[in-house]
Structure 1
């Protein structure tokens, strides 16, 4: 007989009743935690949109370069030519050679403003140099044995009167011989990267003394960088003891802002003029150097310089970059507010020809902000020069308030 089974017992489930008061307590606790968290949660950053207009380029330059011979022009101190025409390689440069001679002499025997340098006594050898120069129909100035002139005065006669005999005199004094001078000149040209420049004499009468437009732009800038030499080449009339008044052979001095540098003429080189000038564009002063080589006459060289200079000046343009209050972007918040980003000021740039303007802008991340706050910068770069314009908020980005904050749980839980 099988054992008798015990009767099964039913388990009763307990039902816990939560009163309305309990529910309210739970909700209150939950809200007490959530609401402060929602109010303290960081707001999302406003969406930034920047759209800065790029200025339209100016018209391309049309330079009046000579149809005969060679021409070039550049900003003083720049190795980049603004324009050139004709033979760009080495050509005879006539008495423009004397500018290099002066630079080499001044490197060996420097002068400062107000200092005329040591006295140089003219000898029988200098008188003989004068006679040799006259015999080959070179440009000259008289010299007397025993005459004493300062280094500066000898350089003035060489450059202003373009006296070939004084070029030989000053190099013999400075270096002892033509050969020693030419060795110093080779070192000078190598030091300054004048790879197209070769000198075989001190005056340029020999057509073997040659240079290129590229090198001559650098030579002109080197001359202007020396205060003593820059003053000499800009002098129209000077007084020298015994010799008297000497006139600069550069008849364009003082015209169209021209303030230097050197003329030269030989049968092989034609008429040459290495020049420097200043002119104003907008509120900026531009300093340029240029050269005309191989012109048919001195007048033709002068005409070519003036035409080239005028067309160069006309090819610099005051280009509007932006105007104050121009909208360049917006901030838009997640709660639907929008505020404009505007430029705070006008800005213009002086540009050469149709040079491109590079535009770069940045603005800070914003959440809430008052109107007028500075939010960023636009940077305009033209030919390695940068103009900056500040950006500000034209409008207010307000806090969205209590109900928006608690209605967006993603702020707390996102």
Structure 2
């Protein structure tokens, strides 16, 4: 009887399981809306947090990008090229010998310019002709000084023996000046008659009168030469008519400076002409006086091929002070050629000093550029030139500083040029302006901005 009941038990178990499943489904249906609602709220909260974090990040980036420091503009500067100047060529005689000394120009011409600055030909002794009379005058004034240029000194009265010198030198072809017996004149005027027309009869008469004899004069002359270190000079008589009166260019420069430093001699040799009682109107043999700045000193001629000139000149070349030139030419072929050489020499010295243009206003000397594309030029603020001699090297140096702003016209430094003793400076300024980077450039170029730490200061 039991077996027929078995299917009924299985159906009961199935019905019971079905009942439990239905109850679970009804319970689940009651719980799921709450779970879903909680999940939605949690998702919204997470989304909101993400949005806030994103907005904070974006806002922080924008704030940093708009305030972060940028690199200073790149400045490229270069000094303008210094112009090339040709060296001055100093004119020299084609024959004979010459030497030049220039005082007041050592800073331009180099140390030693006041000694022998330039020379040509031999340095050996050559005949000096009437340049001898400068030595005669210096030796006489060493024995009988004149205290000033206007001091007349003692009175000289010429005798018949003095007058006879006129005829003796006349037949020798020497330059002479009248000297009537009994004529009286001051030592100053007698020296003028000796030096201005180069009167040989006055040279012997004065030297004999002051020293008592020619032997005494020649002895005093040797002592005077030795005292001044003029070992290259030989004087055998007071006029220069003898070719045995010789000197070197170096010694003659010293003699010229001694003569130019003596007030009375300097005044006399700078006088173009003079009228003296008994002697009449006398004219200076130095036809270059007043030409090319020449102020003295003495000519000398013994004949063809023996023309000489010991000269002084004052040259205003544009320097702080005029230059004092002492020069000599010995053994020129003629008076005309010697004079032409001296004028050419002085002209070549004068023209060797010049203003050299080193920059013009608004000349570009550099650029300013930025990563964001803004640029400007660096230009010289004014035209500049420098005074110098010949091809003296000109050195340019630049000093550029970082300006507070990069605006048009801002002076950012200077250029200084140096040549010899002179310097000149010109400002360097900005032409154009450097604009600040745009906000868009800042936002789109983060790698070219400073760090957050930099922005924070």
TM superposition score category, shorter chain reference? 0.5 to 0.7
Q: How does 1:129-278 map to 2 (within 5 A)?
A: 130=165, 134=169, 137=172, 138-143=174-179, 147-171=183-207, 177-178=216-217, 179-187=219-227, 189-190=228-229, 196-254=232-290, 258-266=294-302, 270-277=306-313
Q: 133-142 vs 93-102, which deviates more?
A: 133-142
Aligned mates of 1:55, 1:219 — CA distance in 2? 41
Which of 86, 94, 97 pairs up with 2:129?
94
Q: 2 CA distance for matches of 1:170 and 1:372? A: 76
Structure 2 residue matching 1:162: 3-state secondary structure: coil
1:275 partner SS: strand
Question: Is the strand fraction higher in 1 or 2?
Answer: 1
Match of 1:54 in 2: 82
Distance in 1 between the 2:223 and 2:82 partners?
A: 53
Counterpart CA distance in 1 for 2:365 and 2:295 is 48
- Distance between the aligned counterparts of 1:409 and 1:196, measured in 2? 84
Q: Is the 8 A contact 1:51 1:328 kept in 2?
A: no
Question: How large is the Cα RMSD of the aligned pairs?
Answer: 5.1
Which whole-Å CA distance do the structure 2 matches of 1:52 and 1:61 have between them? 27
SS at match of 2:383: coil
C-alpha distance in 1 between matches for 2:290 and 2:425: 38
**Residues 1:313 and 1:267: Cα distance change in structure 2 (over 3 Å):** closer
- Summarize the Cα distance change of 1:185–1:169 in structure 2 as closer, same or farther, 3 Å threshold: farther
2:92–2:98 Cα contact (<8 Å) kept: no
Shift of 1:364: 4.8
Does residue 310 (structure 1) correspond to residue 344 (structure 2)? The answer is: yes
Using the alignment, how far apart are the partners of 1:343 and 1:401 within structure 2? 27
Determine the C-alpha separation between the residues in 1 that align with 2:412 and 2:285: 58
Aligned residue number for residue 10 of structure 1: none
Structure 1 residue aligned with 2:16: none
Larger Cα-atom Rg: 2
Question: Equivalent of 2:154, from 110, 119, 124?
Answer: 119
User: 123-132 or 57-66: which moved more?
Assistant: 123-132
Cα distance change of structure 1 residues 204 and 83 upon mapping to structure 2, 3 Å threshold: same
Question: For 1:409 and 1:102, how far apart are their aligned partners in 2?
Answer: 90
TM-score, structure 2 as length reference:
0.63
Q: Write the distance in 2 (CA, Å) between the matches of 1:44 and 1:375.
A: 17
Equivalent of 2:414 in 376, 379, 383: 376
Taking a change above 3 Å as real, the CA distance of residues 344 and 286 of structure 1, as seen in their structure-2 partners, is same
Instruction: State the aligned residue count.
Output: 379
The 1-side partners of 2:437 and 2:164 are apart by 97
Deviates more, 1:334-343 or 1:148-157: 334-343
Structure holding more helix per residue: 2
Q: Deviations over 1:108-135 (max 9, x none)?
A: 625434x233223336597289379639
In the alignment, the residues of structure 2 paired with residue 135 and residue 397 of structure 1 have an alpha-carbon distance, to the nearest angstrom, of 87
Deviation at 1:233, TM superposition (A): 1.7
Distance 1:271 1:243, change over 3 A: same
Query: How far off is 1:262 after superposition?
Result: 1.3
Distance 1:309 1:89 in 2: 24
Which residue in the other structure is 1:27 paired with? none
Q: Partners of 2:135 and 2:437 in 1: how far apart?
A: 77
Q: Which runs of 5+ in 2 are unaligned?
A: 1-48, 53-65, 105-112, 443-447
Partner SS for 1:134: helix
Separation in 2, partners of 1:101, 1:45? 77
Q: Judge conservation of contact 2:286–2:297 (CA < 8 Å) in 1.
A: yes
Counterpart of 1:70 in structure 2 is: 97
How far off its partner does 1:159 sit?
0.7
Contact 1:117 1:150 in 2 (8 A): yes
Shift of 1:172: 5.6
Change (3 A) 1:70 1:324: same
- The CA distance in 2 between the partners of 1:107 and 1:386, in whole Å, is 42
1:291 offset after TM fit, Å?
Answer: 3.1
Q: 3-state DSSP class of the match of 1:118?
A: coil
Distance 1:252 1:379, change over 3 A: same
Partner of 1:54, secondary structure, is coil
Q: Report the TM-score when normalising by structure 1.
A: 0.68
